[in-house]
Structure 1
Amino acid sequence: MKINIRLLFTALSLFSSIAYAQTTLKGTVIDENDEPLTGANVILSPTKGTTTDFDGNYSITNIIEGSYTVKVSFLGFKSQSKTIKISGQDTITVNFSLTESNQQLQAVEITGRLKKSYKNDVSFAATKTATAIKDIPQAVSYVTKEVFADQQAYTINDIVKNISGVSQFSYYDDFVLRGFRSGDFYINGLRVLDLFGPNQLLANFERVEVVKGPASATFGNASPGGIMNRVTKKPLTEDRKAINFTLGSFNTLRTTADFTGPINEKKTLLYRLNLAYENSDSFRNLQEFKSYMIAPSISFLPSDKTSVNFDLVISNYDGKLDRGQPIFGATAGTDLNSTPISFAIGQTNDFQKTDVVYSTLSLNHQFSDKLSFNTSYIKSLIEEDLQEHVTSNQFAIDGNGDPIPTLMGLNFSQRQKKTTADNITSYFVYKNNTKNLDHKIVVGFDYNQEKQPIGKAQSRAQGYLLQGGGTSSKLSELDNFLRDEDGNPIPNVPHFDLENPTYRIARTSDYIISDRTRNASKYYTYGFYIQDQINWNKFQFLLGGRQEYYVDIVDYEQLDEKTTTQNKFLPRLGIVYSATKDINVYGTYTESFEPQRASNINNPLAGGPFDPESAFMIETGAKGEFFNNRLAANIAVYYIQNNNILIDANNVENPDLLRQRGQEESKGFELDINGRILPNFSLTANYAYNETIISESDVVEEIGRQKENAPKHQGGFFGKYTFNRGQLDGIGLSLGTNFVSERNTFEETLKLPSYTIMDAGVSYNIDKFNIRFLIKNFFDKTHWVGGYRYTRLFPGAPRNYLLSVGYTF
Structure 2
Amino acid sequence: MKKHVRKKHLRRSFAGSKNWLAVGTLAATVMGAGRQAQAAVPSSASGAAAVPTAGLPVKRINIAAGALDAAIATYEQQTGVHVRINLPQGTVEGFQTKGVSGLFAEDEALQLLLAGTGLSFRMDGASTAVVELRANDSVDVSTSANSVSLSQFTEPLSDIPQTVNVVPQFVMQEQAVTTMRDTLRNVPGISIAAGEGGAQGDNLTIRGFSARNDIFLDGIRDFGSYYRDSFNYDAVEVLQGPASVEFGRGSTGGVVNQEQKQPMLQEAISGSLQLGTNLMRRVTADINEPLTALGPGTAFRLNVAGTQSNVAERDITEVRRFGIAPSIAFGQNSPTRFLLSYLHESENSIPDYGLPYFLYKLPKVNRTNYYGFAEDNFLRTNPDIVTGRVEHDFSVPVTVRSTMRWANYPRDVRITEPQIASKAVFSAIGGEQMAACAPPACFPINYDPNLVRVTRNQIAAKSVEDMIWNQTSLVGRLKLAHVENNFVVMLEGGRERSSPLRTSYTVPTASLLNPNPYEPFDPSSISIRSNTHVSSTSYGLNLLDTLKLTQWLQISGGIRFDYFNADALTDAVGSTPATHVSRLDKQPTYRAAVVVKPRRNGSIYFDYGTSFNPSAESLSLSGNNAALPPELNSTTEIGTKWDFLHDRLNLSGSYFATEKQNARETDPNDTANTILVGTQLVRGVQVAAIGHMPRHFDIIAGYAFLNGRVEKSILNASPWSSLYVPGDPVYGQAPYFISPKGFPFANVPKNSGNLWVTHDLWWRFMGGFGGNYVSARRASSTTMVAAYDSATPVPVTDVPLTFKAIPGYWTFNAMLRRPISDHLDFQANIINLTNKFYIDQPHPNHLVPGEGINAQMGFNVKF
TM-score by length of 1: 0.80
Structure 1 vs Structure 2: percent identity of aligned residues? 20
1:100 to 1:275, Cα distance in 2 relative to 1, 3 A: closer
Partner of 2:182: 158
Q: 1:785, CA displacement in angstroms?
A: 1.9
Task: Indicate which of 702, 707, 713 corresponds to 1:686.
Answer: 702
Is 1:518 matched up with 2:537? no
1:446 to 1:519, Cα distance in 2 relative to 1, 3 A: same
1:802 partner amino acid:
Q
The CA distance in 2 between the partners of 1:267 and 1:494, in whole Å, is 65
Is 1:638 matched up with 2:656? yes
Task: Indicate which of 275, 287, 291 corresponds to 2:317.
Answer: 287
What number of residue pairs does the alignment pair up? 710
2:702 partner amino acid:
N
Partner of 1:347: 373
Partner of 2:817: 763
The CA distance in 2 between the partners of 1:261 and 1:84, in whole Å, is 35
Partner of 1:497: 511
Q: 1:33, CA displacement in angstroms?
A: 7.3
Task: Indicate which of 783, 786, 798 corresponds to 2:838.
Answer: 783
The question of whether the paired residues in 1 share the 8 Å contact of 2:556 and 2:593 is answered with: yes
1:598 to 1:808, Cα distance in 2 relative to 1, 3 A: closer
Partner of 2:495: 449
The CA distance in 1 between the partners of 2:805 and 2:173, in whole Å, is 34
1:376 to 1:253, Cα distance in 2 relative to 1, 3 A: same
The secondary structure found in structure 2 opposite 1:161 is helix
The secondary structure found in structure 2 opposite 1:286 is strand
Alignment of 1:193-204 (within 5 A): 193-196=223-226, 199-204=227-232
Alignment of 1:687-706 (within 5 A): 687-699=703-715, 700-706=738-744
The CA distance in 2 between the partners of 1:102 and 1:431, in whole Å, is 24
Partner of 2:554: 540
Partner of 2:328: 298
Bigger CA drift: 437-446 or 215-224? 437-446
Partner of 1:13: none
The question of whether the paired residues in 1 share the 8 Å contact of 2:337 and 2:392 is answered with: yes
The secondary structure found in structure 1 opposite 2:516 is coil
The CA distance in 1 between the partners of 2:288 and 2:622, in whole Å, is 51
Partner of 1:309: 339
Alignment of 1:488-637 (within 5 A): 492-508=506-522, 510-537=523-550, 538-555=552-569, 561-597=580-616, 603-604=622-623, 606=624, 609-637=627-655
The CA distance in 2 between the partners of 1:337 and 1:391, in whole Å, is 12
Partner of 1:209: 237
The secondary structure found in structure 2 opposite 1:148 is helix
The CA distance in 1 between the partners of 2:621 and 2:212, in whole Å, is 23
The CA distance in 2 between the partners of 1:237 and 1:317, in whole Å, is 32
Partner of 2:56: none
Partner of 1:361: 388
The secondary structure found in structure 2 opposite 1:44 is coil
2:493 partner amino acid:
Y
The secondary structure found in structure 1 opposite 2:564 is strand
Is 1:805 matched up with 2:830? no
The CA distance in 2 between the partners of 1:248 and 1:28, in whole Å, is 30
The CA distance in 1 between the partners of 2:300 and 2:841, in whole Å, is 40
Task: Indicate which of 349, 352, 373 corresponds to 1:319.
Answer: 349
The question of whether the paired residues in 2 share the 8 Å contact of 1:36 and 1:679 is answered with: no
The CA distance in 1 between the partners of 2:113 and 2:516, in whole Å, is 70
Q: 1:95, CA displacement in angstroms?
A: 6.0
Partner of 1:278: 307
Q: 1:730, CA displacement in angstroms?
A: 2.5
The CA distance in 2 between the partners of 1:300 and 1:50, in whole Å, is 20
Q: 1:94, CA displacement in angstroms?
A: 6.8
Is 1:377 matched up with 2:376? no
2:662 partner amino acid:
N
1:244 partner amino acid:
S
Is 1:192 matched up with 2:222? yes
Q: 1:168, CA displacement in angstroms?
A: 1.0
Partner of 2:503: 459
The question of whether the paired residues in 1 share the 8 Å contact of 2:270 and 2:285 is answered with: yes
Task: Indicate which of 639, 652, 670 corresponds to 2:686.
Answer: 670
1:29 to 1:638, Cα distance in 2 relative to 1, 3 A: closer
The CA distance in 2 between the partners of 1:114 and 1:296, in whole Å, is 21
The question of whether the paired residues in 2 share the 8 Å contact of 1:673 and 1:686 is answered with: yes
Partner of 1:742: 776
The CA distance in 1 between the partners of 2:619 and 2:385, in whole Å, is 28
Alignment of 1:249-264 (within 5 A): 249-264=277-292
Q: 1:411, CA displacement in angstroms?
A: 3.0
The CA distance in 1 between the partners of 2:255 and 2:291, in whole Å, is 35
The CA distance in 1 between the partners of 2:189 and 2:146, in whole Å, is 20
1:361 to 1:696, Cα distance in 2 relative to 1, 3 A: same
Q: CA RMSD in A?
A: 3.8
Partner of 2:766: 732
Question: Residue by residue, what CA displacement relative to the aligned partner does 1:387-424 show, whole Å, maximum 9, x if unpaired?
Answer: 33334674597469544553222333543222211222
The secondary structure found in structure 1 opposite 2:328 is strand
Is 1:430 matched up with 2:476? yes
Q: 1:113, CA displacement in angstroms?
A: 7.8
Q: 1:102, CA displacement in angstroms?
A: 12
2:558 partner amino acid:
G
Partner of 1:482: none
1:116 to 1:246, Cα distance in 2 relative to 1, 3 A: farther
Partner of 2:139: 115
Question: Residue by residue, what CA displacement relative to the aligned partner does 1:217-257 show, whole Å, maximum 9, x if unpaired?
Answer: 01110231100110001112222211100011221111111
Bigger CA drift: 215-224 or 405-414? 405-414
Unaligned 5+ runs, structure 2: 1-25, 51-65, 69-82, 105-110, 125-129, 196-200, 424-436, 446-451, 573-577, 716-737, 785-801
Q: 1:100, CA displacement in angstroms?
A: 9.7
1:785 to 1:662, Cα distance in 2 relative to 1, 3 A: same
1:43 to 1:505, Cα distance in 2 relative to 1, 3 A: same
Partner of 1:466: none
The question of whether the paired residues in 1 share the 8 Å contact of 2:356 and 2:363 is answered with: no
Partner of 1:721: 759
Q: 1:321, CA displacement in angstroms?
A: 2.9
The CA distance in 2 between the partners of 1:193 and 1:779, in whole Å, is 36
2:746 partner amino acid:
E
The question of whether the paired residues in 2 share the 8 Å contact of 1:757 and 1:779 is answered with: yes
Query: Which structure would you say has the larger RCO, counting Cα contacts within 8 Å and 6 or more residues apart?
Result: 2
Is 1:711 matched up with 2:711? no
2:164 partner amino acid:
V
Q: 1:119, CA displacement in angstroms?
A: 2.8
The question of whether the paired residues in 1 share the 8 Å contact of 2:118 and 2:138 is answered with: no
The question of whether the paired residues in 1 share the 8 Å contact of 2:818 and 2:825 is answered with: yes
Alignment of 1:96-175 (within 5 A): 114-115=138-139, 119-125=144-150, 128-170=152-194, 172-175=201-204
Q: 1:519, CA displacement in angstroms?
A: 4.2
The CA distance in 1 between the partners of 2:208 and 2:777, in whole Å, is 11
1:258 to 1:168, Cα distance in 2 relative to 1, 3 A: same
Q: 1:670, CA displacement in angstroms?
A: 0.8
Question: Residue by residue, what CA displacement relative to the aligned partner does 1:663-716 show, whole Å, maximum 9, x if unpaired?
Answer: 111111111111224343111111111111111123443221221111111112
The question of whether the paired residues in 1 share the 8 Å contact of 2:154 and 2:486 is answered with: no
The question of whether the paired residues in 1 share the 8 Å contact of 2:531 and 2:570 is answered with: no
Question: Residue by residue, what CA displacement relative to the aligned partner does 1:241-290 show, whole Å, maximum 9, x if unpaired?
Answer: 11100011221111111112422177510121111000111132321121
Q: 1:592, CA displacement in angstroms?
A: 0.6
Question: Residue by residue, what CA displacement relative to the aligned partner does 1:748-792 show, whole Å, maximum 9, x if unpaired?
Answer: 432211111111221101321111111111122221223123x40
Unaligned 5+ runs, structure 1: 1-26, 58-70, 87-92, 462-491
